[in-house]
Chain A
Amino acid sequence: MKLTDKVIAALLVSTGIFSLGQATQYVQKISAKQKKHMLTVAGNVKQNHVVFLASKLPLRPKPSVDQDHAA
């Protein structure tokens, strides 16, 4: 599995919609264009420290989130 595929799988698991197994299978099925699309989203999510409420990953400290508005 390529690093870029892992990044997309991690995004899908962090949103909470797929388990790791499902995310891995999904990434293997999509086109290069769709992967590029998903990588853009992943980059944006990382850059903005987006917190996903239904995440299947443990929460990490958020360096720049306004605590008054983080659930």
Chain B
Amino acid sequence: MGTACNFSCAHCCSAYEGDRRLSGDEIASIVNTINTRRIYSLYFVGGETTLYIPEINNILSGVNRIDSTKVHIITNGYFAINSKAAEQVLSSFLTLTSLSLSYDKYHKKFLPLSSVKMLYNACVKKKIKFNVSVAISSPLDLSLLNHLTKIGNFPINIQGVMSAGRAKDNITLEYPCLDKDVLSRGCPINKKLFYLCGRGYSTCCGSLILNRNATEAFVKPKCDDYLASNFYKIISKYSFGELLDKYNIPKNNLHPKYSVNCNLCEYIFRNAQVIRDL
């Protein structure tokens, strides 16, 4: 939705500062894409998503089949200072199916645990599905689960800190060895569309387009142009192992960090020969 956030977490995958918002033309394009491509599940992310509720409602009000569309948000939960405030923000969405709260040792510096409980309770009351997304830079960070499980019974999404944005080259989860299964995998989300504020459409929502030096080959202002791009054709067709073979990139001695799909994908598509091919 935009780049504005009221937290400044050290591990944030966003490389952008300030407040970049969707223009009216971008909102119209997104609504048109949702309707023409019959998209039934929408994920709104930021920056901090709840700073963009008017824009989100603008989009939702243009969706033709809103009653059968699932709406999900990811938030830092800053607004959950008490039950009333939490419920008020949740109620301000035209519709909301589920909420994912980002909470980990980085977010913890800005959000008290009591707010996690407030938000969870508000979601239960409003019948909104709730889960917590926890980014870790060490397995020892999992100790946060001891506190989260005291709040309630909800799913938890554990992720290694993404090597992008503010975290790039500063914070990362160390992998003991390469998980060779990564070579048989392809991008797991290449059937999902992502709109990056001010840039356009992509199926990538990872480090490849979130880092500052992302090239225009990976993101296009028009959806049809993106789906016709060489990058989309390649990423939706080949596994990472096949891509390494295709471009004669050695598979031996790959660093353990390339166990992560996004890290390996970025490694492949930052290769000069691959970029020329796009």
A residues engaging B (CB < 8 A)?
11-12, 15-19, 21-22, 25-26, 29, 34, 37-38, 40-41, 44-45, 47-54, 64-66, 68-71
B114 at the A/B interface (Cβ < 8 Å)? no
Partner of A26, one of B139, B149, B152, B154: B139
Are A69 and B154 touching (Cβ within 8 A)? yes
Partner of B158, one of A16, A25, A44, A68: A16
Closest 9 CB pairs of A and B: A25-B176, A53-B157, A15-B158, A19-B179, A48-B149, A51-B155, A26-B176, A71-B155, A41-B142
Given A40-B146, A50-B145, A50-B149, A22 and B156 contact (CB-CB distance below 8 Å):
no
Beyond A25-B176, A50-B153, 20 extra complex contacts between A and B, CB < 8 Å: A11-B142, A16-B159, A17-B136, A17-B159, A17-B173, A18-B175, A19-B259, A21-B177, A29-B176, A37-B140, A44-B145, A44-B149, A47-B149, A50-B145, A52-B156, A52-B157, A65-B153, A66-B153, A69-B130, A69-B154
Are A48 and B153 touching (Cβ within 8 A)? yes
Partner of A22, one of B140, B142, B259: B259
In the bound complex, residues from chain B placing their C-beta under 8 Å from that of A25 are 176-177
B160 at the A/B interface (Cβ < 8 Å)? yes
In the bound complex, residues from chain B placing their C-beta under 8 Å from that of A21 are 177, 179
Are A54 and B259 touching (Cβ within 8 A)? no
Are A54 and B158 touching (Cβ within 8 A)? yes
What's the Cα separation between A64 and B153 when bound, in Å?
A: 9
What's the Cα separation between A43 and B252 when bound, in Å?
A: 38
Q: List 24 A-B contacts (CB under 8 A).
A: A12-B139, A16-B158, A17-B173, A18-B175, A19-B179, A19-B259, A21-B179, A22-B179, A25-B176, A26-B176, A29-B176, A37-B140, A38-B139, A40-B143, A49-B153, A50-B155, A51-B156, A52-B155, A52-B156, A54-B159, A68-B124, A68-B129, A69-B152, A69-B154
